[in-house]
Chains A and B, each alone.
Chain A
Amino acid sequence: MTAWRRAAALARKDLLLEWRGRETITAMAGLALLVVLLLGFVLGAEAARAPAILWVALLLAATLGVSRWTQAEVEQQALETLLLYPGSREHIYWGKWGALTLLLTVLLGLLLAAIGLLFNVDLWARFPLLLGAGLLGIAGLSAVGTLFAALLIPVRGRELLMPLLLLPVELPVLLGGVRLTEAILTGSPGGGLWLGVLAVFDILFLLVAPVLYTVVLEEA
């Protein structure tokens, strides 16, 4: 089996599990909507605040989803079976990463729709650009998220530790995402720099995380 097919099979397995239960996406979408509603009400729903609120909601909701991302493996004791399959363990990483990226992209789509409706921002004309910027952030988010989800398997109280580890590391994604979204919405310059920040973050951690993932799985 080629690397691509192994990764795709794993991503399909994770997405099928999610599709049958739809637990993670429901919880993430619920939390994201709550953050948007609460921040929008407390801070005031001006269009200028929309990018910051969008990314904070995305990041917090993603943390919730990431800490559940190895739940099936842990609860059903399926990890041993997964590790017994022949072939490189990096393929497991890419499968998990792909599925998480897709899941978070669905969340981003829902969030963009909610922001567009609730904040009276005209984002439909720039929807492809906004989705692209979001994807760039999500790629890095799930690059580190996939690694930490596996890393925390043998750690006591892993759901508690996940936000503590993930949020400080993901700070560049948050800042880059906010500024890039602002630049797209207002047409102001400076977007290029943040495109660069997000791209560097993605490339760096997509190179490093799969290698460290094999170390982590040996300990899981």
Chain B
Amino acid sequence: MRLLLTLVGAATAVLLAAGLYFGLVASPPDAFQGDYVRIMYVHVPSAFAAYLAAGTVFVASLLYLWRGRALYDHVAHSATELATLFTGLALAGGMIWGKPVWGTWWAWDARLVTTAMLFLIFAGALMVRELVEDRQRGARLAAVVGIIGALDVPLIHYSVVWFRTLHQAPSITRGEIKMAPPMVAALLVNLLAFAALYLYLLLQRVRLERLEAARSAGIEP
């Protein structure tokens, strides 16, 4: 575990440094968006990490309810926290980017609304867990909320997209962005970096979770 943590941590640090270089130095400013396009190199990867976390919540929750191993619950809990974190970051990044480029903080864009709903669902799952006296009982109930929430993600996404697009043309249309190769590289490196960051945070959080569980069971780790 310790070796794995060091390896993933080192890879994350290298990838994040490369992501910073590609995002801030190697890629040119966008023809339409100028330097604001660089926010995308953080915003898109946060949303990507949020979806990775949502997928982890679903799989780990199912496994926990099925098999009942504490490790699956540690993963589900940690991933729920990270899903809340990364949906929050994606929302904040999207709004900061939206203000200069779209001219408004909140554009009622389908993806923004979906992300906000996901943020609330995962926050709800965390609250269910915290507000139950018995630890194991809270874990199983949070797993149920996690499964329902994750199953709902595609339904929420498509209903929000269709609700907007089939009714009225979007008032703000984004220009066709043909991406230059350095920009694609910046995006890809940052996607990879955030995936690694997510994995690293997940491993660290699971480790902490295990230590907490061991302490509350009265066993010296």
Contacts and interface: CB of A to CB of B under 8 A. Distances in A.
Q: Do A and B come from one complex?
A: yes
B166 A190 contact: yes
Interface stretch (A32-40, A128-136, A150-158): A150-158
A154 B144 contact: no
B152 A169 contact: yes
Contact of A155 (B128, B140, B156, B163): B128
Interface in B110-151: 117, 120-121, 123-124, 127-128, 131-134, 137, 140-141, 144-145, 147-149, 151
Contact of B132 (A154, A179, A208, A218): A154
A218 B147 CA distance: 17
Contact of B131 (A156, A168, A216): A156
Contacts of A168: 117, 120-121, 124, 149, 156
B128 A204 contact: no
Contacts, number: 92
Which secondary structure dominates where chain B touches chain A? Answer: helix
Given A161-B131, A197-B159, A215 B124 contact: no
Interface stretch (A5-13, A101-109, A170-178): A170-178
B155 A200 contact: yes
B153 to A, nearest CB: 10
Contact of A164 (B127, B133, B158, B166): B127
A76 to B, nearest CB: 21
Interface residues of A, number: 34
Contacts of B147: 208, 212
Given A156-B131, A169-B121, A219-B140, A179 B145 contact: no
Contacts of B149: 168-169
Given A152-B128, A169-B152, A172-B159, 6 more contacts: A154-B141, A175-B162, A193-B166, A201-B155, A216-B141, A216-B144
Interface of B: 65, 117, 120-121, 123-124, 127-128, 131-134, 137, 140-141, 144-145, 147-149, 151-152, 155-156, 158-160, 162-163, 166-167
Which 5 pairs show the lowest CB-CB distances between chains A and B?
A172-B159, A156-B131, A172-B155, A165-B124, A175-B159
17 contacts: A151-B145, A154-B134, A154-B141, A156-B132, A164-B123, A168-B117, A172-B155, A175-B160, A178-B163, A179-B163, A197-B158, A208-B148, A212-B144, A212-B147, A212-B148, A219-B137, A219-B141
